[in-house]
């Protein structure tokens, strides 16, 4: 493993981080007040197509049972993207209407009924992907360290003979041990992984406590997004001590909060990259161009 390879991993992470930021910014803007801000080549066919689908649905409901060509009957004469957008929006509206029946709502067939939720979903997805890419970079970093200094794998761990004999040589065995090491590392919370790098590996990570607290709170939110669909769980309340939310509430993740998490994650990745470069590859400061460095502290609160 060369430093150039590790450098490529770091800058690939920065590219992915930037893509998340841009995607969330644009999707949040375009989908707010859906479908008003859609480009004309999508918005106009959507409006016409929904009207046609609604009319065709009434005809369909007068026939006996479903047919294999139900979708074609409702959404005809459109190119692939337009057809999928129209059909997805149509069924979203119908689902909203069905959900409102139990609430005695005025269940009219209107696009405005499904305008809300897109921006929240975009922010949710962004927060999940921030940690997906940060976690991957942290894991890749540990792999790099272990390949440069395999002696780090010398731990009070046991491996049975049968497992050893499955490998064709020392390199295969070492790679197996590295993956086991990384697997255990991945189970740690982000603050504990930072402490692991500091205490066990000896990295000089200078990220502030404020930024770590922000990433810690965001990681807890990420867990309920992935495992509970964005609804507050009792475990989340217990782990965070938040007393101003109720179990079952939809968690709020403003775009400004996502931005601060992105910045803090970049700062952590930059600290890790610089420290590993200096400690394990003897790279001087002059060669560490373009690395994201943290400026002033960022707030850990969602609303500030």
Three-state secondary structure along 41-68?
HHHHHHHHHHHHHHHHHHHHHCCCCCCC
The pLDDT assigned to 300 comes to 47
Nearest to 184 by CA among 200, 161, 164, 168: 200
The pLDDT assigned to 3 comes to 96
The pLDDT assigned to 170 comes to 77
- On whether the pTM is more than 0.85, the answer is no
Can you read off the two tokens belonging to residue 193? Answer: 């992984």
Count how many Cα atoms sit within 13 Å of the Cα of residue 83 in the half-sphere of its side chain: 10
User: Tell me, what DSSP letter sits at residue 296?
Assistant: S
CB contact set of 25 (below 8 Å; sequence gap of 6+): 255
Residues 40-63: pLDDT tens digits?
A: 888 888 888 877 776 766 665 565
Q: Are 124 and 225 in contact (CB under 8 A)?
A: yes
The pLDDT assigned to 299 comes to 44
Residues 127-171: pLDDT tens digits?
A: 999 999 999 999 999 999 999 998 888 776 666 666 766 777 778
State which residues of the chain have pLDDT below 50.
Answer: 296-300, 304
Neighbouring CB atoms inside 10 A of 208's CB total 14
pLDDT > 90 fraction of the chain, expressed in percent and rounded: 50
The pLDDT assigned to 123 comes to 94
């Amino acid at each position: 493993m060369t430093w150039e390879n590790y450098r490529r991993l770091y800058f690939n992470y920065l590219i992915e981080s930037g893509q998340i930021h841009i995607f969330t910014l644009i999707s949040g803007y375009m989908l707010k007040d859906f479908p008003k801000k859609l480009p004309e080549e999508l918005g106009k066919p959507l409006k016409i197509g929904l009207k046609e689908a609604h009319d065709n649905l009434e005809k369909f409901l007068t026939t006996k049972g479903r047919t294999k060509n139900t979708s074609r009957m409702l959404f005809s004469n459109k190119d692939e993207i337009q057809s999928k957008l129209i059909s997805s929006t149509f069924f979203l509206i119908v689902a909203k209407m069905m959900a409102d029946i139990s609430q005695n709502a005025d269940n009219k067939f209107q696009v405005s009924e499904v305008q809300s939720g897109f921006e929240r979903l975009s922010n949710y997805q962004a927060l999940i992907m921030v940690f997906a890419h940060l976690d991957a970079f942290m894991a890749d970093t540990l792999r790099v360290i272990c390949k440069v200094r395999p002696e780090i794998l010398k731990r009070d761990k046991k491996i049975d003979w049968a497992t050893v004999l499955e490998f064709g040589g020392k390199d295969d065995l070492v790679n197996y041990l590295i993956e086991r090491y990384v697997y255990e590392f991945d189970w740690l919370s982000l603050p504990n992984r930072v402490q692991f790098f500091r205490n066990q590996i000896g990295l000089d990570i200078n990220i502030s406590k404020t930024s770590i607290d922000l990433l810690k709170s965001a990681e807890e939110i990420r867990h309920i997004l992935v495992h509970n669909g964005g609804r507050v769980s009792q475990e989340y309340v217990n782990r965070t001590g938040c007393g101003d939310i109720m179990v079952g509430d939809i968690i709020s993740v403003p775009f400004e909060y996502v931005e601060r998490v992105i910045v803090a994650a970049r700062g952590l990745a930059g600290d890790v990259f610089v420290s590993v470069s200096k400690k394990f590859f003897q790279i001087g400061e002059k060669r560490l161009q373009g690395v994201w460095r943290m400026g002033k502290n960022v707030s850990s609160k969602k609303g500030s």
